[in-house]
Amino acid sequence: MLITVLKKYKITPQKSLGQNFLNNPEAVNKLIAFIDPSDKDVFIEIGSGLGTLTFPLARKVKKVFAFETDSRLIKVSEELKQDLKNIEFINQDILGLDLEEFIAGHLQPGEKARVAGNLPYYISTLILFQLLKIKSYVKDITVMLQKELAMRIVANPNTRDYGSLTVFFQVFTDIKIGFEVRRDSFYPEPEVDSIIIKIIPLSKPRIDLSDYDLFLKLVKTSFAHRRKTLKNNLKNLDEIKKDPQLIHSLFSSSGIDPGARAEALSIFEFKKLYDALMEIR
Ligand code: SAM
């Protein structure tokens, strides 16, 4: 069916846009069941492609805002949507959109959006960070990700996969792992397998942070060079560069070992470093 549509409309999938279309009805059904949609839900779909997920989802929910950057695919989807009046296709690069403004303008006050998507792999991490920023307006986010990326999100400390992404997701969200989707479920076949996960923003983060951006910077700088110690990485924080002596206070007041590596720190230990940084800056 998918390949017939691509041929009929003379569409060659664009690798540079991460166009690996889901081509396995069983996987689509499982994905819809895992999303667990209801008729009150308003969905934002990221990268709707040829509507493989959009159409079955729209049959079960109030509204789907389907974002797709490739206008060729929007044109075809508009033709294929038949009687489905609750889909709005939006020809827009999701990274160029102010999602907070979009939600404020399109949802009822207090109403939370649900997000779904088989994400374009080349920008999955950027999209996830963008979604984390609007977490208070979002009920949940069900996404298909490259398996390696999903493993990084759910990693444990002291493993190779544990990194800044893991820390941010652990602070702000719960993660439910859905199921694996093998590479031969897509056309064209990607070089990696995929996993579907559901990200559920917590109403209250696991640690209190008044300056989210500072925490983000602290964690990213801690992991900048994974083989370096925390002390050597954190020397590069602007706050420390201004007064290099402060690095000693950072570790003494947090109680964190300056010789440790970032991958050994739990989110609660990062919070201790963050509190110390707030004090000294
Ligand atoms: N949902 C479809 C499916 O499951 O078959 C398509 C998934 S495909 C992995 C990712 C889709 O995201 C492609 O259709 C691609 O054109 C679109 N895309 C790529 N970059 C985008 C961006 N910056 N903003 C919105 N959509 C984008």
pLDDT bin (cut points 50, 70, 90) of residue 146 is very high
Please name the helix (run of DSSP H) or strand (run of DSSP E) that holds residue 74, with its range, or none. helix 71-80
72 and 159 part of one domain: yes
**Where among 169, 201, 233 does a domain terminate?**
201
Whether residue 53 has its Cβ less than 6 Å from ligand 1: yes
Do 85 and 115 fall into the same domain? yes
The length of the chain, given as a count of residues: 281
Q: Which residues of 137-155 are buried (b: 16+ CB within 10 A; e: fewer)?
A: bbebbbbbbbeebbbbbbb
The DSSP letter of residue 135 is: G
pLDDT at 220 (0 to 100): 96
Q: Does 269 share its domain with 166?
A: no
Does the beta carbon of 48 sit less than 6 angstroms from any atom of ligand 1?
yes
Are residues 216 and 130 both part of a single domain?
no
The whole-angstrom separation of Cα 195 and Cα 144 is: 6
- pLDDT tens, 65-101? 999 999 999 999 999 999 999 999 999 999 999 999 9
Number of other CB atoms surrounding residue 14 within 10 Å: 13
206 domain residue, yes or no: no
For the Cβ of 18 lying below 6 angstroms from any atom of ligand 1, the answer is yes
248 and 126, same domain (yes or no): no
CATH number for the domain that contains residue 227 = 1.10.8.100
What secondary structure, in 3-state letters, does 14-56 show?
CHHHCCCEECCHHHHHHHHHHHCCCCCCEEEEECCCCCCCHHH
**The domain boundary residue, chosen from 171, 201, 231:** 201
CB of residue 221 inside a 6 A radius of ligand 1: no
Peptide bond into 188 cis (omega under 30): yes
Is position 207 within any domain? no
Report pLDDT digits (tens) over 189-222: 999 999 999 999 999 999 999 998 999 999 999 9
131: CATH:
3.40.50.150
Taking the model in full, what pTM does it have?
0.94
Whether residues 161 and 22 share a domain: the answer is: yes
Range of the domain at 196: 2-201
- Among the three residues 151, 171, 201, which one is the final residue of a domain in this structure? 201
Residue 36 is predicted with a pLDDT of 98
Same domain, 72 and 143: yes
Please state, rounded to an integer, the average pLDDT across all residues of the chain. Answer: 96
SS3 content of the chain, % helix, strand, coil (to 5): 45, 20, 35
Which residue's alpha carbon is nearest to atom 17 within ligand 1?
Answer: 47
For residues 232 and 206, give the distance between their C-alpha atoms in angstroms, rounded to a whole number.
27
Q: Into how many domains does the chain fold?
A: 2
Do 238 and 173 share a structural domain? no
DSSP assignment string, 164-229: HHHHHHHHHEEEEEEEEE-GGGEESPPSS-EEEEEEEE-SS-SS--S-HHHHHHHHHHHTSSTTS-
Residues 197 and 264 in one domain: no
> What is the position in ligand 1's atom list of the atom closest to the CA of 73?
14
Residues whose CB falls within 8 Å of the CB of residue 57, separated by 6 or more in sequence, listed in order: 32, 35, 37, 43, 45, 64, 116
Establish whether residue 21 lines the binding site of ligand 1, counting it when its CB lies within 6 angstroms of any ligand atom. yes
Assign 100 to helix, strand or coil: helix
